[in-house]
Amino acid sequence: MHELAIAQSLLKIVEQEALPFRGARVTRIKLRIGKLSAVVPDALRFAFEVISQGGIAEGASLEIEEVPLRLRCHQCKEVFVVEGPFLICPHCEGLDVEMVSGRELEIKSMEIEDGN
């Protein structure tokens, strides 16, 4: 449900970044979203579609890359990709782990088309 708030933040960043390119249209936006973030991609797409209407990013597609959950185990001194949601070392089953990735909510890049 908070996808609307996330879409609004995203649109603000997109509009700001597109500011130097007068008359341009944003056609595609690449995002990185961590596996453990509580974002539903379809809900985010829908929210973005609605709020971007009439603006420079109207009709832009959201390309979402899911970032895997990676844990560094301090015992094994190794980084593992795990399914989650448990934060346990898959090797030694220890709890002395640190999340390396998996909570991302990032915009990576955007594709713009010249308006001229």
Partner 1 sequence: MEIKVIKNILEANEVIASQNKRLFEDKGVYVVNLMGSPGAGKTTLLEKTVKHLIDKKRIAVIEGDIATSRDAEKIAAHGVPTLQINTGGACHLDGNMVRGGLKEFNFENIDLLFVENVGNLVCPAEFRIGEDDKVMIISATEGDDKPLKYPLMFQVSSLLLLNKVDLLPYIDFDLERFRNDAIRVNPRLEILTISCRTGEGLDNWYRWLEEKINRKRD
The Cα 18–Cα 103 span in angstroms is 26
Using alpha carbons, list the distances in angstroms from residue 22 to 3, 8, 25, 51: 28, 21, 9, 20
Residue 36 or 76 with smaller CB distance to partner 1: 36
Count of residues touching partner 1 (by CB under 8 A): 34
Q: Which of 31, 60, 73, 82 binds partner 1 (CB under 8 A)?
A: 31
Q: Which of 13, 50, 79, 100 binds partner 1 (CB under 8 A)?
A: 13
Examine residue 96 and tell whether it contacts partner 1 (CB under 8 A). yes
Q: Which of 61, 84, 90, 101 binds partner 1 (CB under 8 A)?
A: 84
Q: Where are the alpha helices (DSSP H) in the chain?
A: 3-18, 41-51
Q: Which two tokens stand for residue 86?
A: 């448990």
Pairing of strands 69-73, 97-101: antiparallel
Binding site residues, partner 1, CB under 8 A: 1-2, 4-6, 9-10, 12-13, 17-18, 31, 36-39, 84-88, 95-97, 105-114
